[in-house]
């Protein structure tokens, strides 16, 4: 059996929505994008949503609108995709890497406390795999030290913490609609906030700092005149992606339930082996964007990398989330070798394997993954 790491979930309604947008004549940002923003704001309960080309763009704009710039420090988890730190550098600020929790892989609250400095201006908690970070503690730290909290909710639609949607607890939340996400438009993202001024500025910055969107200029009654109020970026969403987003938003909770059911099967199956460490969350409800199994190297005669190769031989594609940021040559050249400061990140990195978890997985595929993982663990048990 051959099982890919991920298969995007699309149905006829998504295809029809994209085709309808193309036929409408608005293939770039237009009325569908505005409709998607309104629907997303309604779903999240946030008053303002700004549709953009990626979660990376959303994070960058969030930092820009809250004034992060040269001389500022922003605390980010070291175990995340590089975009979380890159956007800090885009602003001329300094990303400060925090260690993570061994169980959830989310940012460590203790590590945040240790890293606070007079230059700290913001924290970017990442809801890893859909698991909400410890937001109560993080928000308390932010309130005590007058810091912004920008939630990287790329994995977390829909995830809930304390009855609230992840991404809606901080000063701004940033979502991803990349092909592997629960709501997938191929590429795309969304910035949500309660701050109207931030939303309006982000809306300008996403399209070159222009004060009139293209559809407003070229639609009936529009004018060709516009002004550039500040230098911006090419971060706008397209109506094709927005049309797919509107269609997928109607199914997002159904898709989360499908992922959750797979994760539950994995957890039940792997809990019986002392060579495996299932991934379970401490609180809240996860979107289960990923299923990060960890192996117990003390109970096995093979390494994590060899375990991945054995799964590959059985036709099962996997991944690793993530290579810690400080291990990349760019950051090593910039900040030096920091591995010794991140005991939990290193512990996770030596053990983590992301297994396939996508809504269209069949029971037979899930069972095959489980059987294969258990067979390899048994074959190479010490």
Residues annotated catalytic, as ranges: 181
For 329-333, the CB contacts below 8 A with 24+ separation are 331/85
Order across the sheet with 352-355: list the strands: 276-277, 291-295, 352-355
Contact in structure between 74 and 121 (CB atoms under 8 Å): yes
Q: 359: cis peptide before it, omega within 30°?
A: no
């Amino acid at each position: 059996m051959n099982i890919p790491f991920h298969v995007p979930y699309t149905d006829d309604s998504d295809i029809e929505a994209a085709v309808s947008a193309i036929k409408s004549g608005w293939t770039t940002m237009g009325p569908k994008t505005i409709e998607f923003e309104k629907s997303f704001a309604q779903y999240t309960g946030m008053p303002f949503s700004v549709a953009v080309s990626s979660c990376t763009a959303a994070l960058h704009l969030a930092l820009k609108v809250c004034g992060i710039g040269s001389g500022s420090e922003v605390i980010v988890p070291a175990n995340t995709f590089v975009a979380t730190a890159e956007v800090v550098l885009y602003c001329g600020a300094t990303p400060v890497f925090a260690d993570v929790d061994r169980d959830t892989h989310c940012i460590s609250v203790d590590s945040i406390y240790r890293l606070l400095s007079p230059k700290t201006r913001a924290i970017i908690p990442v809801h890893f795999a859909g698991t909400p970070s410890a937001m109560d503690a993080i928000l308390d730290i932010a309130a005590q030290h007058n810091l912004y909290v920008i939630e990287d909710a790329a994995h977390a639609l829909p995830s809930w913490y304390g009855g609230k949607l992840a991404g809606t607890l901080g000063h701004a939340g940033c979502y991803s609609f990349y092909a592997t996400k629960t709501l997938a438009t191929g590429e795309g993202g969304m910035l949500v906030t309660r701050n109207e001024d931030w939303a309006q500025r982000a809306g300008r910055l996403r399209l070159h700092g222009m004060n009139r969107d293209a559809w407003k200029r070229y639609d009936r009654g529009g004018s060709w005149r516009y002004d550039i109020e500040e230098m911006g970026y090419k971060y706008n969403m397209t109506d094709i992606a927005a049309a797919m987003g509107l269609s997928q938003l109607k199914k997002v909770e159904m898709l989360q339930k499908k992922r959750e059911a797979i994760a539950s099967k994995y957890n039940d199956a792997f809990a019986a082996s002392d060579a495996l460490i299932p991934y379970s969350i401490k609180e809240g409800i996860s979107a289960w964007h990923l299923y990060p199994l960890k192996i117990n190297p003390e109970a096995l005669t093979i390494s994590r990398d060899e375990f991945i190769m054995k799964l590959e031989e059985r036709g099962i594609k996997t991944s690793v989330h993530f290579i810690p940021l400080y291990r990349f040559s760019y950051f090593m050249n910039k900040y030096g070798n920091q591995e010794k400061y991140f005991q939990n990140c290193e512990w996770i990195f030596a053990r983590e394997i992301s297994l396939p978890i996508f809504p269209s997985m069949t029971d037979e595929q899930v069972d095959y993954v489980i059987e294969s993982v258990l067979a390899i663990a048994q074959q190479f048990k010490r």
